[in-house]
Chain A
Amino acid sequence: MTETIFPVLYILAAAGFILAIKWMNSPVTARRGVIVGEIGMLLAVVGTLLRHEVVDYQWILIAFFVGSAVGVPLAYLMPMTAVPQRTAFSHACGALASALIGTAEYFRHMPHGFVMTALVIETLLGFLTFTASLMAFGKLQEILPTRPITFRGQNFVNLGVFALAVAVGIALVVSPERTWLFPIFTVLSLVLE
């Protein structure tokens, strides 16, 4: 009985997110959009926590606590002029999360074929976005030099690293058992930026 309720919660959450973006179209309804988005997220998280696969709550609760402890000050103490940096930072967080989930899934199930292809693309883009967003954050915050960082033959190096990452990715899709390739793939994706 309780099992049938999870798809419903997820579908309601997805509908909430669609409405949230739709209501963001106009300043009149924008705040309503935020609220419906929050409700959607709440439904999705509660729905997931109740699933029977999830048995160990200790680390999840600690992670929620740490995340909120970082997130609340980030939202209230950040000056409004620093909003672009915050978006860049939170972009990095999101990308890191999806890349790590991809990595964990890989070591858990060692998927094949279609799922493995999706997983490799997810992890590549995730790690790539993570470092790129951190660079963007550093530049916006003026920690890093704001002028473009260039060196001779940069395009060749970039293309080379990208080609290598794609090659390793394809090798992983063909035979996911080659576990030792995965860390190499991760590092290549991180450096790619």
Chain B
Amino acid sequence: MSSYEIAIWVFMLAAFLGFELIRRVSPLLHTPLMSLTNAISAIAVVGAILVTGEKNASTLSRTLGFIAVVASTTNVVSGYLITDRMLKMFKKRAPEKK
């Protein structure tokens, strides 16, 4: 199999996996799920690091990479922190309901 073929297989399987994973999430958790997946999508930081840290990178690609690292680090940090903050609120409210 060529590497493109493998990549398309991975893509197809990941699409089904993602769908199955979020299919049964309770509506209560939709907001934290959104911000968590947002934080995970900041995995693009890996590509950004590779672009920025490359030896002899041109000024253009280093600048673009730098902005990309800033943007995705913002996402990682604020995404995880705010998801956690939301979930803490759930914990506090749960006993009140009972």
Binding site for B on A (CB under 8 A): 13, 17-18, 20-22, 24-27, 30-31, 33-34, 37-38, 40-41, 44-45, 48-49, 51, 53-57, 59-60, 62-64, 66-68, 70-72, 74-76, 78, 80, 83, 86-87, 90-91, 93-94, 96-98, 100-101, 103-105, 107-108, 114
Binding site for A on B (CB under 8 A): 4, 17-18, 21-22, 24-26, 28-29, 31-55, 57-58, 60-62, 64-91, 94
Contacts of B78 in A (CB 8 A): 70-72, 74-75, 86, 90
**A137: min CB distance to chain B, Å:** 13
A38 to B42, CA, bound (A): 11
A125 to B57, CA, bound (A): 25
Q: List 27 A-B contacts (CB under 8 A).
A: A21-B22, A25-B24, A25-B26, A30-B87, A34-B36, A34-B84, A37-B40, A41-B40, A41-B76, A51-B50, A56-B54, A59-B66, A60-B52, A63-B48, A68-B74, A68-B77, A70-B74, A71-B75, A72-B77, A76-B85, A86-B78, A86-B82, A104-B65, A104-B68, A105-B47, A108-B57, A114-B4
Cβ contact within 8 Å between A94 and B49: no
Contacts of A20 in B (CB 8 A): 36, 40
**A78: min CB distance to chain B, Å:** 7
